[in-house]
Every structure is written in C-alpha cells, then in structure tokens.
Amino acid sequence: MAEPAYTVASDSENTGEEKSSSSPSLPEIAVGIDIGTSQCSIAVWNGSQVHILRNTRNQKLIKSFVTFKDEVPAGGVSNQLSHEQEMLTGAAIFNMKRLIGRVDTDPVVHASKNLPFFVQTLDIGVRPFIAALVNNAWRSTTPEEVLAIFLVELRLMAETQLKRAVRNVVLTVPVSFSRFQLTRMERACAMAGLHVLRLMPEPTAIALLYAQQQQMTTHENMGSGSERLAVIFNIGAGYCDVAVTATAGGVSQIKSLAGNAIGGEDILQNTMRYIAPPNKEASGLLRVATQDAIHRLSSQENVQIEVDLGDGDMVSKVLDRLEFEEVNEKVFQECERLVVQCLRDARVESGDIDDVIMVGGCSCIPKVRAILKNVCKKDEIYKDVNPLEAAVRGAALEGAVTSGIHDPFGSLDLLTIQATALAVGVRANGNKFVPVIPRNTMVPARKDLFFTTVHDDQKEALIVVCEGEGETVEENHLLGFFKIVGIPPSQKGVPEINVCMDIDASNALRVFAAVLMPGSKSPVVPVVEVRMPTVDDGHGWCAQALNVKYGSTLDLITLQRKM
C-alpha cells in the first residue's frame, strides 16, 4: 500500500497566530478556491488573466467528495470513480459544505440523513455523527476532516502545476454561513496547510469579476464609468445566495446580501421522493437517474425516467416541467423571497437594475430564470459570465488583489466593499436578539448600543453574542458569551452598559463591553474585549445551559431612548 499522499494537521492547530506571519519579499499570489457542495474548482491569476487549473482528467470542475477505502481516504481530485454509483455506496462522503459547523438539531443536518453515508443525530445540540462505510464498518469522521483531505489534494495538484508552494487562499463561502461556520472552514484549511486570506461570500466574488468586466468595457468605450446596479443570483447544490452590487470604476460595493441553505440537493430529494415507488428507500440508482432527469428538464418539456431498482421494482415515468415545478414549489418560493428581500434591503427598485447575473449549477432551471426575470423586470439575463466558473474566477481575482499584485493594464485595479450578511447582536430584553450591527452594514463597521440592568444591585451581566435574523436568541447562531463583573451596586436601570461591536477589514469580529455610571466619564471597570466566535463544537446546547443555570439573573435590557 502506497503512502497516503497527504498530511492533515491536528484539528487543534492554532490558526489565529499564522495571520501575523511576516510577508515574504515577493508576494505569493493567493489562489482562489470555490468549494461547492457538489463540485469544486481552483484558479489563479497567471500574470495577465485568471487561469483555472485542471485535474489529471482534464476537468476544471472537480467533484467534491472523499472516499474512505481500506482506511486510506482519497478525494475527488486524484481519485477516479469507476462509476458514479460508487459515490453512493456509503464509502464516499460528500455534501460537506451542507454539514460543516452545524449541530445535530439543525434541519439541514436532518435533511442529510438519507444520504448514502452515515449521518446520525441525537438532537442535543452537538455535532452530528458522520461516518463512512469501510469494510462493512462505520469509520467516523468530521466535515472539517473530509474538507481538509480534499483541500490537501487540491493544494498538491496546484503545487505540481504552478511549480511553487501554495499556501495563501481566497475561498468562497455561502452568504448564509454563520461566523462559527466560517471558523470551521478556516480550520479545515489550516488542517490542509492553507492560510485563508479571505472568505468571500460567493456572490461578492462574482461581483468582483463583474466589476472587472465593466471596467474593461468602460476603458474601451472611454465612457464616464457611471455606476451600474446588478443583481447577482447564485444557486448551487447546497446554497442559494443573492447580492445587489453597485459597480463603478472597478469598485464593487455590496449593497445587500441574502442567502439560505437551499439548492439542487433539495430539488433532487423532492423529485426523488416524488418519483420513487411507495415504501421504497431512496437508492443510489434512483439518485443518479433523477439527477439526470432534472438536467434534461432544463432543455426539454418532459423526460422519460426508466430505472430498474432491483427486487422487481421498476420506475417508469414521464415527468414534465410543470410537475417538477410543483414538486419543488417551496424551493422556488424561497428563491423569490431571497431576491425580493435583497432588493428591498438595498433600497433598489426593479426599474433601476442594469444587469441580472445568474450563476451556479441550478441557475439554468427555467423556473429559476423566470423568477429572476419577473422580480427584476428584465427580459435578458447577463451573458458574459460562465455560470460554473464565475465564482472561482472572482476568488482568484481577489486573491491577486489582496496579495498586492499590480497589473500594468489595470485589470487588477479592483476593490470589493463588503457588507455584513447577517446581523450580530446580543441577548437582551428577555430572550430577544438585539442586533448591534444590522445585516448589510458596510464592512469595516463599528457600532455600539447601550443596555442597563434589570435587577436592583445587579453586579454582573451576561453578554450573549449571536448572529442571524431571528427575533429570539434560539433562532440565531450563538457565537459566544462572557460576563461583565463589578457593576457598582445601584438601582436597576441606572448603570449604562455599552456594548460595542467591531468588524475589521479582514472580517474579524470583536466585542467590547464597558460599564458606565451616570456622571462618570470613564468606565468603572476595565473594558472587556472578546474576539468572536468563542464557542467550540457542541455549542448548540450552550444557550440552553446558560438559561438553566442563570435564568434572568444576569439579564440586560436596552436603555430607553426618548422620542
């Protein structure tokens, strides 16, 4: 047996320290990686343009999976499957982007339970049990480990082709990823020996590519370079993301973002359930046939599906587009909701939109295109991007820009001004989530809010930091918590507790808390500074545990503002 061609560093490797490492004299151009739920690609700026790397089978799009055979895992970069069905025997783990950083109470994890590999939940707020079938036994793993194995292969492939060490990367991530999930992505990269320069929400990578294209065309026409508003819609296998961007002179300012964990996987599962014979478990064969049928439905009005499931069970069915759209109505409704929300958050009327850009594997579904055309009141979809390559191209551009590469022709004279995809705030006013930095705030951002105590002589206060859009704490992602101590004895409502949140250019979130007493000009106890997130795996039950332990004794309410 050959030596495994990868090394995965320990999960506990510290990623925080590496960022400050001094930069070499010649800047290494960071590569862009688009880790998709089902497919993955890697690209780099080659000095004059973005070059997408190909694997040994000459593929630009590499299937994201890792097979565990004989205890030696192998990822989709080097590994060649004899047949697509091999991915469905239980030995291969895929869809990791759907599972990373999620606890076992998450509906997305539950929806993954009928995948061919093992996903078990205990519904107690810890990480789910994930395992691959190796020699008829379950070998447990984690989404981070699987991603790391895959990333190592990608790195080796890139290093061979670029003939240099590859360390710095720009990765695209879904808009709906919480900061906790982002740390898990960073962890997976660290395990693979990669240093993350930037985690870019997918549509913002596409926005950068679009900004470059716009700049090139205005250069050619010597135009004034007026601002163009574009809606970017990305739907892949696992996630749907929307962004509204205002672009001028190579600068893309993200006006708003919206996203959710819906995508091709949901469409596939809904359709499979619809065409499967009653009382028949979803099998690998059916999965492959359904996937194929969905692909064909993008160009045909109806498709014939014929599958022999064995044991005398046959599926023979004609599926037409209308049926398909009905079966997946909820997914399509959610797509529409996201676009509407994103436009509203950006305060953009559909008449003002210059371009509608659609990317991702599911963007060719006619219904999805119809929704976008209808909501944005456009007859045409932007044609100058490749829906499957746009994200990785954008990431590679960002990789070159953040590495400080200068292009004499101005092709890298680019900038993305990011916005926060989710609100960050604290628990206050009972069990409510009170945003301190609302979603779609321009980054870097710093905002603060004043709170006060709810009990007389309350000496301590619990700051529970969450991220999301829900009204109650439970509906949001918990990022961490800490206590402020030493509040001087006073009546409730008197101490002013200032909670300040700061998101810097590298998207790091820090939370500061200070206690002020009326009349005093400086904080009465030293300002507490905490970098978030602090929670580790298994954080799902933390909020509940805090509730049980402290109840409302350490609560806060917002300091009332007069009107």
Partner 1 sequence: MNKTKKLVASISKLLRRRTCYPSTFRCNPLATIAFNHLSRDSLQPCSAKPLAISVSGLRLSGRAFCSKRSSVCWNCGFSSEKAAFLFCDSCRSIQPVDDSVDYFQIFGLENKYELDAGSLEGKYKDWQKKLHPDLVHNKSKKERDYAAEQSAKVTEACRTLTKRLSRAMYIMKLNGININEEETLTDPELLMEIMELREAIAESKDSNALNQIRSQVQEKLKQWSDSFLEAFESQRFDEAVKCIQRMTYYERACEEIVKKL
Instruction: Count the site residues for partner 1 by CB under 8 A.
Output: 41
Quick one: DSSP state of residue 442? B
Residue in 141, 183, 402, 476 binding partner 1, rule: CB under 8 A: 402
Query: Is residue 228 within 8 Å of 211, Cβ to Cβ?
Result: no
- Considering the complex, state which of residue 184 and residue 198 has its C-beta at the smaller distance from partner 1: 198
- The C-alpha atoms of residue 271 and residue 289 are separated, in whole angstroms, by 11
Scanning 173-181, 187-195, 323-331, 410-418 for contacts with partner 1 by CB under 8 A, the matching segment is 410-418
d(CA 438, CA 423): 4
Please state the closest distance from residue 523 (CB atom) to partner 1, in A. Answer: 7
338 three-class SS: helix
Q: Which residues contact 540 (CB under 8 A, 6 or more apart)?
A: 103, 104, 105, 124, 125, 126, 478
Per-residue mark of binding to partner 1, 133-172 (x: CB under 8 A): ----------------------------------------
User: 442-461: which residues touch partner 1 (CB under 8 A)?
Assistant: 442, 444, 446-448
Site string for partner 1, 417-446 (x = CB under 8 A): x------------------------x-x-x
Q: Residue 367 Cβ, how far from partner 1 at the closest point, in Å?
A: 27
126 in contact with partner 1 (CB under 8 A): no
Of 44, 171, 514, 532, the residue at the interface with partner 1 (CB under 8 A) is 514
CA dihedral 13, 19, 21, 22 (to 10 degrees): 160
**Which one-letter amino acid corresponds to residue 532?**
M
123: CB partners within 8 A, 6+ apart: 104, 105
Stretch that binds partner 1, among 48-56, 355-363, 474-482, 518-526 (CB under 8 A): 518-526
Q: Binding residue for partner 1 (CB under 8 A) from 17, 505, 548, 551?
A: 505
Residue 520 near partner 1 by CB under 8 A: yes
Task: From 210, 197, 304, 307, select the one nearest 251 (Cα to Cα).
Answer: 210
Q: Name the minimum Å distance from CB 350 to partner 1.
A: 15
Alpha helices (H) along 348-462:
366-376, 390-402
415 binds partner 1 (CB under 8 A): yes
414 within 8 A of 396, measured Cβ to Cβ: no
**Dihedral sign from CA coordinates of 181, 187, 193, 196:** positive
- The reply on whether position 502 binds partner 1 by CB under 8 A is yes
403 touches partner 1 by CB under 8 A: yes
Could you identify the residue written with the tokens 């890139």? Answer: 158
**In the complex with partner 1, which residue's Cβ is closer, 276 or 401?**
401
In whole angstroms, give the CA distance from residue 403 to residue 197. Answer: 9
Q: What distance, in Å, lies between the first and last C-alpha atoms of the chain?
A: 75
Interacting positions 480-499 with partner 1 (CB under 8 A): 498
401 contacts partner 1 (rule: CB under 8 A): yes
Query: Is 408 an interacting residue with respect to partner 1 (CB under 8 A)?
Result: no
Question: Which listed range, 127-135, 267-275, 502-510, 536-544, lies at the site for partner 1 (CB under 8 A)?
Answer: 502-510
Find the part of the chain contacting partner 1 (CB under 8 A) among 285-293, 376-384, 521-529, 545-553: 521-529
Distance of CA 147 to the CA centre of its chain: 14
Q: How many residues does the chain have?
A: 563
Name the token pair of 103: 């606890």
Dig out the tokens for 504 from the structure.
């810097």
Q: Under the rule (CB under 8 A), what is the footprint of partner 1?
A: 23, 27, 197, 227, 246, 248-251, 253, 344, 401-404, 413, 415-417, 442, 444, 446-448, 498, 500, 502, 504-506, 512, 514, 516, 520-523, 527, 561-563
